[in-house]
Structure 1
Amino acid sequence: MLLRQLLTDYPAAEGSFDEMRDEAGETRAHWRTFLDYLSRETPNEMRHRIDNVRRRLRNNGVTYNVYDDASGVHRPWDLNVLPLILPHDEWAGIEAAVTQRATLLNHILLDVYGEQKLLEEGLLPPALIHGNAGFLRPCHDIAHRDGTALHFYAVDLARAPNGQWWVVADRTQAPSGAGYALENRSIISRAFPDLFRDLKVQHLAGFFSTMRDSLAHWGRLCAANQYGDELGLPLREDEPPLIVLLTPGPYNETYYEQTFLAKYLGFPLVEGSDLTVRNGMVWYKTLSGLQRVHVILRRVDDDFCDPLELRTDSVLGVAGLIEAARRGNVLIANSLGSNLLSSGALLGFLPSLCQRLLDEPLKMPSVGTWWCGEPLALEQVIENLDRLIIKPSFPQLQNMPVFGQDLKGEARDAFIASMRAEPQNFVAQDLVQLSQAPVWKSVGQPGLVASAIGLRVYACATPDGYVVMPGGLTRVATGPDARVLTMQRGGGSKDTWVQGVSSTPMLNLRQLAVSNEDLLREDTRMSSRLTENLYWFGRYTERCTAVARLIRTTLDFMLNTQPEHRGKEWPVIQGLCKSFGLIVSDEEEQNQIQSQGQNQGQSQNQAQKADELLSDVEMEEALVLAVMSLELPGPASYLEQLYRIGSQLRERLSLDNWRILSRMVERPDSSTPPSLADATVMLDETITSLMTLAGFATDGMTRDNSWRFLSIGRRIERLQFQCVILQHALEMNTGSNLDWLLDLSDSSVTYRSRYKARPEWVRTLDLLLLDETNPRSVIFQLQGIVKYQEKLAMTYGYCGAKLLTTVMDELSALSPRTDLRCGNPHLIDLLARINLASYEVSEQLGLRFFSYTGNIRGDSMNQEQAA
């Protein structure tokens, strides 16, 4: 594609800075290599790159939850294929300014929660601190390791029309986006591998290694407990401290990023319910007992972190967390109360504070900011309202930003009156004319168009100062209002490429010498919540498979067997469908589904009494509905549940696992009612994908306790399914066709290869009940469950194995010659008791492992217990 064609629709920047071209319309030097490369691309090649980027985002499950978006947690992350490129000399200035700003804000945070000399000297108005709900009084005088309270910092930058970078906002509470920046890099560097290498783009991995090493350094200090009164449990020499990432949960908008970072950094991802405070220390609830937590990297807002001393209605935090921090027994990153610094009202005071605290001028100015609590500033703001954006001063004020130029007539007068009534609640900023950068247009004539962008840069603290990520998260205004850069309003993102900057030496605080004691063969940090999710992930994987096979077997039987030849098998198969809820037998429920528009044209005659046979037409309509409907207990609804459980296991699932799971919940966007052919295709694809997912668990997971809980879940679900279908099947006649039963039990190939004859009862029941080599047999499930329970008992004590051993022994004692026959009441009763025992085992596991009770692990505790 010629360069002229590439730039056909690229607009000249009017009143703003263009990242790619200068004022004369010439390409900037650091963009020339990239632009020359694009000009040699054909439209098909570029389309292929874009498709690859979108596919990777979809397959990796990269999402951002927009709360009022119908896509919900399935909304894909918006990533533009073209990066933002910054030259090394320009980045050096940004890096120095961000380092200085992080250092300054850390000093302010230490002073405000310490001696408060800045308030005493009049450099900060008391109203800005004590009027801010972000100022947490319980956190006053908490000591901070190495004088660091701001461990992770992000700053939003925008470029003025003259090319000067300005600070728009400081992110000091629990900055988000660094994980997305890392994900963006992973994807875009693969889209342009040659360019990435040729432009000598700086890597991001070292930044995260530095952050991990720094937190570990401070975690070891917490373990030594130099500040607190309590005697902490000492770490062995070279034993790493326990660092956890505290998440608000799977419905948070950046939950994907949190799981991604937890997996990348190797930190357990925990919710507030996974932690507890005892004896002034924070403990992680694991199956092995309570393990002491030394560092909490939090993504929960300040006031939700401790319901004991902060918000009493919070269910996201840990009661007693502030007391543990007060005693110096845990490091919280960032320190509680750091949200105070995010107020835009502070920006106007930073130049004088920088001179006072660092004895140097502020290297990067903040966008023009006026706090209306100062009378002179209020009048200036009202006079220049049209060119300003008005924001709330404090986080407790839920007002949205207001653009002065949008206010007209009575609305303008009313807004000014509210400002005069409570001026301290308002802060005004210059409306920045955002710079523009190229984005790729794939609709119509391919080429480059422009969009407004801003840059979020990240810094992490180390014992020797701050280190800045060489790049960041470029945010793109793709929503209806290009004046606002926010993901919650439809914004997008870019990768950020910093050229040829010599890497800042990344801190390697300590090289650990690994001994035999440091080698682990089991995961000792499995929480009860994680274990429960693994267990139910196994169950729902098998439940999806079972109902999908039942529907497919039923359809095959119905289509391939003439009505006059169906015999006793057809009532039994229909009875199974009703037992598993695949046929709606409640007319009222069916009418409700129709009123919600879920039946997609199916007949109302589908609602029948449980003991009546449905016609072929009615069965077809009912099963197609069961396949597609999210309201009925069929494959679609079970897959949705499986996806929700999997979402809470993101840090435990491999990328290949997640790709399979994501594809399974993709639903065709069609306004026409699904046909039988559509349902059949979906069934085949679902069963194939589920077998692939099960294969990952069988062949890819380490055989530790996490695998055992998942496997117990799968085997209990399969055991219950097999017991039910065999109970129903035993109601048939001696000469009944058993092909459907073998097919439903995925045992047809084994039977035919062994016997090469028409299925008959003794051989079929032997294969499905007593064959220890058949992974679908009842005895196979029982033996596996008991074996895994006994393995768990070696670590955790008795967990219900005896509940199954009695019925397993009774099953093993069956005589194939006399007991394996249809209509045998003893066999039917035994299957019912096995099924009941499996439910009792499930309940026992829940009480033993999922409702947490446990003892604190550690030498001092063990000594107390022994005494």
Structure 2
Amino acid sequence: MNNSLLAAYPLAQQRYDEMFEADSMPRPHWRALFDHLGREPAEVMRQRIDALQRQVRENGVTYNIYADPKGMTRPWDLDVLPFILPQQEWAGIEAGVIQRATLLNQILGDVYGEQTLLKEGLLPPGLVHGNAGFLRPCHGIRQSDDIALHFYAVDLTRAPNGRWWVVGDRTQSPSGAGYALENRIVISRAFPELFRDMKIEHLAGFFARLRDSLAHWGRICAANRGDGADDSPPLRDSEQPLIVLLTPGPYNETYYEQTYLARYLGFPLVEGGDLTVRNGLVWLKTLAGPRRVHVILRRVDDEFCDPLELRSDSALGVAGLTEAARRGTVLLANGLGSNLLESGALLGYLPAISRRLLGEELKMPSVGTWWCGEPAALEQAIDQLDNLVVKPAFPQLRQLPVFGQDLDAEARASLIDAMRARPHNYVAQELVRISQAPVWRGDPAPGLNASVVGLRVFACATPNGYIVMPGGLTRVATGADARVITMQRGGASKDTWVQARGRVSQMSLLPSSTAAHELVRGDTHLASRVVENLFWFGRLSERCDSTTRLLRSALDFLLNVSPEYRGGEWETVQALCQKFGLLNEEPHDDADIETELLQSMVTRKGPGLASNFQQLYRVAGLLRERLSLDNWRTLNQVVQQHSGMGQPPSLAGAITRLDNATSSLMTLSGFANDGMTRDNGWRFMQIGRRLERLQFLCTVLQHGISMPSDSGLDWLLEVADSIVTYRSRYMAQPEWLPMLDLLVLDDSNPRSVAFQVGGLIRNLDRLAVNHGPCGAELFMPLQAQLQALNPGRDLYAGSAPLLNLLRKLNTASIALSDQIGLQFFSYSGAVNLDTFTP
């Protein structure tokens, strides 16, 4: 045994140790990992952990702890060591979870149906009708194949005797499966040989069955009709029902997981505003028009799903969704009202209900639980308070657990008074010392440590019964002495390895073959919200690039040009910095200017580089399911450098940082040009880029040609990213005529005015084929005026014709932005283009 590996490993005190037996020898299913770690130099593990953390950070894997200042950017905490379970033990867990999911589904069907359990006294009425999770508008809703619980998760912990116990059920919109999948991808790459040699079960088959099962019930819903003339036609034999994943939005704690699952399963990720109910049918508002939705895999809580019947102040749901579910025209997974089953008070009644509904004992018991709404249970809980943990009976109460053994006399009396005043609000549970598992401890002395762990296991319904994911999400508490495992208190996670009994299935989520009639070109499910975000992603990425180049030019003046050699160009650069909010309007000396420019790189308040990058990151977060991992890594790297909240860099350091930002933004531009299909989403992103670049160019050129005729022009070419092209063509100091020809008229220069105008017209014309006039008519006469400029007559410092045309182009770009927003994003019509005269 490697003693250095175990130097800091704590002995299990009255708790089960997952890795070691009582004689401190590794359990058989852990021995391969333990031996592997013992043979490996500490430096290899350090490199593995560095790679893991880098992958999590660059992939943007996040979990939002609401009180954490990092907020939406808090990285997901993943331990490098997997949690291992042998096949024989897993078979018992699997059977218990299948039985439990089946039982809970039947309870859900009964409570919202015949209510036999209430009539027979197996469920107290107060536990149902006193629970805010019981949604009366959902009573009587019939479910396809009597399945309301399509996706289920259960939290397990292991007691000191080695037995697994249920501590909680997740039935409303269970989270964690996407994180489990992400964990698997990362950790299997960290230990590829070990993963292969130990024959670990793969996860893809589970998600494939989930997708196929939802599609099965989606076809049933598709056959149910609405009551209007615009009912959708039935699905063709080869046509798949439309399944969407409904998210509460980017501020939800598990938003990353939702985007990850949507991309992995191939479901459009939608928010409530993307859907509408008409004539009893649910529709997705897409760029190509409304498309009927047949299945909604929801991550929005029950009561927020429908502001019409459930919660009127909800901005997350879809008005009329309950009625659509009532008609059976859409499948909601899980069914509305399933939050009822998450009440901890239900645990104590399950053994008797199992005997009544299934005719068998529970295969996996729940931790000892007493609902204080029953007088005898209340008194028993008070008598044994020192050995119990008191929790809220219903999730909506939002109360923290209280450990009886922690209370002094005054606190104990206060808790008892509260329990007697509202006994139905409390449950008391037996305090179980949860098992511990190894975690890797880094410097200063690398080796094994231990933390308390719990296991979240996932099941999904199929037409032939429930199946269980062969693995799950192992949740890690903050230490070996922790009594509660919660990610919201800074917990970590592990990949869960289940050893296969025989050959490991190599099933892929992707279909094995595609017929010719199933070929797809273009994105037919492009939601209008996604299009709007792509439009602004294009604008903001270009805005970051423009700001970066302008800042770099201004700082270069301060660093490399003595005040006596600065001409009118320096005043122009300052004016532009004021125009774009990088400087205030007061007179400056060099020290003040430097301070303000450097501050604009790190402050998130007001316009500036950090603010622009934060806006770009926010919009990119709304497009996570559409951005490749390479794209996201690049974005993460540049945003982390320029996210603000730090001290301003030095002058030289700032220029280096801006150089790096420019390179990263060029890489992002490359992904957009070469890594995305030319569908309508890409066109809107390109329109956003062209509009933003055109506005920036017009503003810079208007200021530039207002300079004295003897001003230096290098800075203008630098800001327009055209200095290399100019020098390769002319090999001389910049002059007005060739400079303006390159930046205004040369349509082969991707940074010229002519290039932006031509790109806008081409993309708008393509959109007009299916959507009618989109604003190209704004720019066609301006393009003609641009082409009519005479280089020998109109391209010079102070040129009135050029200045006038630049103003018109700027005005037209603003009008086009309004036109696109009204026509495609808000559906409120088109702007009155007659008021604009080219």
Above 0.5 in TM-score? yes
Q: Deviations over 1:193-244 (max 9, x none)?
A: 0100011010011110110000011101110118999965311221011000
2:87 is aligned with 1:88: yes
Q: Alpha carbons of 1:26 and 1:276: their partners in 2 closer, same or farther (altered >3 Å)?
A: same
Contact 1:139 1:322 in 2 (8 A): yes
Bigger mean CA deviation after superposition, 759-768 or 407-416:
407-416
Question: In the alignment, what sits opposite 2:835?
Answer: none
Question: In the alignment, what sits opposite 1:33?
Answer: 32
SS of 2:474's equivalent in the other structure is strand
Please, which runs of 5 or more residues in structure 1 have no aligned partner? 586-607, 855-867
Contact 1:534 1:649 in 2 (8 A): yes
Question: In the alignment, what sits opposite 2:613?
Answer: 639
SS of 1:156's equivalent in the other structure is strand
Question: In the alignment, what sits opposite 1:823?
Answer: 798
Question: In the alignment, what sits opposite 1:719?
Answer: 694
What amino acid is the match of 1:190?
A: R
Matches within 5 A, 1:531-546: 531-546=531-546
Deviation at 1:615, TM superposition (A): 2.9
Question: In the alignment, what sits opposite 2:362?
Answer: 362
2:94 is aligned with 1:120: no
What amino acid is the match of 1:125?
A: P
Question: In the alignment, what sits opposite 1:848?
Answer: 823
Deviation at 1:798, TM superposition (A): 1.0
Contact 1:57 1:77 in 2 (8 A): yes
Question: In the alignment, what sits opposite 2:834?
Answer: none
Q: How many Å separate the matches in 2 of 1:450 and 1:777?
A: 61
2:667 to 692, 697, 712: 692
Q: Alpha carbons of 1:208 and 1:34: their partners in 2 closer, same or farther (altered >3 Å)?
A: same
Q: Deviations over 1:672-725 (max 9, x none)?
A: 652112211211111111011111101111111111000110010000011011
Matches within 5 A, 1:377-416: 377-416=377-416
Contact 2:602 2:647 in 1 (8 A): no
1:730 to 695, 701, 705: 705
Q: Alpha carbons of 1:425 and 1:29: their partners in 2 closer, same or farther (altered >3 Å)?
A: same
Deviation at 1:538, TM superposition (A): 0.5
Question: In the alignment, what sits opposite 2:483?
Answer: 483
Deviation at 1:43, TM superposition (A): 1.1
Q: Percent identity between the aligned chains?
A: 62
Contact 1:232 1:329 in 2 (8 A): no
1:664 to 638, 658, 679: 638
Question: In the alignment, what sits opposite 2:262?
Answer: 262
Contact 2:113 2:139 in 1 (8 A): yes
Contact 1:389 1:402 in 2 (8 A): yes
SS of 2:625's equivalent in the other structure is coil
Question: In the alignment, what sits opposite 1:329?
Answer: 329
Q: Deviations over 1:276-296 (max 9, x none)?
A: 000001000111111100000
Question: In the alignment, what sits opposite 2:217?
Answer: 218
1:705 to 680, 686, 691: 680
Deviation at 1:124, TM superposition (A): 1.1
Deviation at 1:566, TM superposition (A): 2.4
Bigger mean CA deviation after superposition, 346-355 or 465-474:
346-355
Q: Alpha carbons of 1:851 and 1:502: their partners in 2 closer, same or farther (altered >3 Å)?
A: farther
Question: In the alignment, what sits opposite 1:623?
Answer: 597
Deviation at 1:665, TM superposition (A): 1.8
Contact 1:370 1:427 in 2 (8 A): yes
What amino acid is the match of 2:40?
A: E
Please, which runs of 5 or more residues in structure 2 have no aligned partner? 830-838
SS of 1:656's equivalent in the other structure is helix
SS of 1:710's equivalent in the other structure is helix
CA RMSD across the alignment:
2.0
Contact 1:569 1:736 in 2 (8 A): yes
Matches within 5 A, 1:508-587: 516-585=516-585
Contact 2:547 2:609 in 1 (8 A): yes
Question: Aligned pairs, how many?
Answer: 827
Deviation at 1:141, TM superposition (A): 1.2
Contact 2:305 2:316 in 1 (8 A): yes
Q: Alpha carbons of 1:355 and 1:228: their partners in 2 closer, same or farther (altered >3 Å)?
A: farther
Question: In the alignment, what sits opposite 1:865?
Answer: none
What amino acid is the match of 1:582?
A: L
1:802 to 777, 795, 810: 777
Bigger mean CA deviation after superposition, 3-12 or 176-185:
3-12
Deviation at 1:750, TM superposition (A): 0.9
What amino acid is the match of 2:459?
A: A
Question: In the alignment, what sits opposite 2:295?
Answer: 295
Bigger mean CA deviation after superposition, 445-454 or 728-737:
728-737
Q: Deviations over 1:392-448 (max 9, x none)?
A: 112332322111112211221121122122222211111111100000110321111
Q: How many Å separate the matches in 1 of 2:325 and 2:469?
A: 28
Deviation at 1:789, TM superposition (A): 0.4
Q: How many Å separate the matches in 1 of 2:106 and 2:722?
A: 70
Q: How many Å separate the matches in 2 of 1:71 and 1:629?
A: 16
Q: Alpha carbons of 1:446 and 1:396: their partners in 2 closer, same or farther (altered >3 Å)?
A: closer
Q: Alpha carbons of 1:481 and 1:450: their partners in 2 closer, same or farther (altered >3 Å)?
A: closer
Contact 2:207 2:509 in 1 (8 A): no
Contact 1:628 1:679 in 2 (8 A): no
Q: How many Å separate the matches in 1 of 2:164 and 2:600?
A: 57
Question: In the alignment, what sits opposite 2:235?
Answer: 235
SS of 2:92's equivalent in the other structure is helix
Question: In the alignment, what sits opposite 1:175?
Answer: 174
What amino acid is the match of 2:331?
A: L
Question: In the alignment, what sits opposite 1:159?
Answer: 158
Deviation at 1:454, TM superposition (A): 0.4
SS of 2:253's equivalent in the other structure is coil
Q: How many Å separate the matches in 1 of 2:511 and 2:235?
A: 16
Matches within 5 A, 1:399-478: 399-478=399-478
Q: Deviations over 1:33-67 (max 9, x none)?
A: 11000001111111111111111110110110001
Contact 2:296 2:331 in 1 (8 A): yes
Q: Alpha carbons of 1:740 and 1:513: their partners in 2 closer, same or farther (altered >3 Å)?
A: closer
Deviation at 1:507, TM superposition (A): 11
Deviation at 1:663, TM superposition (A): 1.1
2:789 is aligned with 1:814: yes
Deviation at 1:560, TM superposition (A): 3.1
Q: How many Å separate the matches in 1 of 2:38 and 2:464?
A: 45
SS of 2:624's equivalent in the other structure is coil
Q: Alpha carbons of 1:699 and 1:467: their partners in 2 closer, same or farther (altered >3 Å)?
A: same
2:837 is aligned with 1:838: no
Contact 2:451 2:478 in 1 (8 A): yes
Deviation at 1:531, TM superposition (A): 0.7
Q: Deviations over 1:762-818 (max 9, x none)?
A: 111111000010000000000000110010111111111111111111011000010
Q: Alpha carbons of 1:760 and 1:505: their partners in 2 closer, same or farther (altered >3 Å)?
A: closer
Q: How many Å separate the matches in 1 of 2:129 and 2:623?
A: 41
Q: How many Å separate the matches in 2 of 1:729 and 1:479?
A: 62
What TM-score, normalized by structure 2, do the two folds share? 0.96
Q: Alpha carbons of 1:808 and 1:227: their partners in 2 closer, same or farther (altered >3 Å)?
A: closer
SS of 2:297's equivalent in the other structure is strand
Question: In the alignment, what sits opposite 1:859?
Answer: none
What amino acid is the match of 1:652?
A: R
Deviation at 1:14, TM superposition (A): 0.8
Bigger mean CA deviation after superposition, 184-193 or 631-640:
631-640
Question: In the alignment, what sits opposite 1:144?
Answer: 143
SS of 2:640's equivalent in the other structure is coil
SS of 2:437's equivalent in the other structure is strand
Q: How many Å separate the matches in 1 of 2:204 and 2:252?
A: 25
Q: How many Å separate the matches in 2 of 1:393 and 1:273?
A: 33
Question: In the alignment, what sits opposite 2:69?
Answer: 70
2:767 is aligned with 1:767: no
Q: Deviations over 1:353-397 (max 9, x none)?
A: 111111111101100011112222111111110111111112332
Contact 1:475 1:491 in 2 (8 A): yes
Q: Alpha carbons of 1:672 and 1:816: their partners in 2 closer, same or farther (altered >3 Å)?
A: closer
What amino acid is the match of 2:754?
A: I
Q: How many Å separate the matches in 1 of 2:764 and 2:150?
A: 43
What amino acid is the match of 1:664?
A: V
Q: How many Å separate the matches in 2 of 1:180 and 1:376?
A: 42
Bigger mean CA deviation after superposition, 343-352 or 461-470:
343-352
